[in-house]
Structure 1
């Protein structure tokens, strides 16, 4: 067999896919909490560490992809 004749197939374990989905959900909840409490969010974008304010990171008016994360209620003061 030649090396060029073999096809490479990629398999991603279901556990890895589940962990990725859980990370996306937790990031969304963290952005909501930062928005509600007025704290900053630290993110990595393009290999750089950035600090975003909670209002920049999560805007309730922005269009979000559908997910199973529901907006948190604003605390009454």
Structure 2
């Protein structure tokens, strides 16, 4: 149960780690798009990026709750 929750919640944080990785190794990608938009103050791109990150966190949190409910019989409650 807790393992599934931690893995799925950390999966959403992998996208934010892309910004650091792409900055360090100078790889083109979503992280460099974010840093360039931040430098140019391109607010629509930044808001879209943050909205996608928030939706990913919410969706993976819901998925982890469903997975824990399916795997752990104690969370199903009385029938």
Calculate the TM-score normalised by the size of structure 2.
Answer: 0.34
More strand by share: 1
Which structure exhibits the higher relative contact order, with contacts defined as CA atoms closer than 8 Å and separated by 6 or more residues? 2
Calculate the TM-score normalised by the size of structure 1.
Answer: 0.34
Query: Is the radius of gyration larger for structure 1 or structure 2?
Result: 1
More helix by share: 2
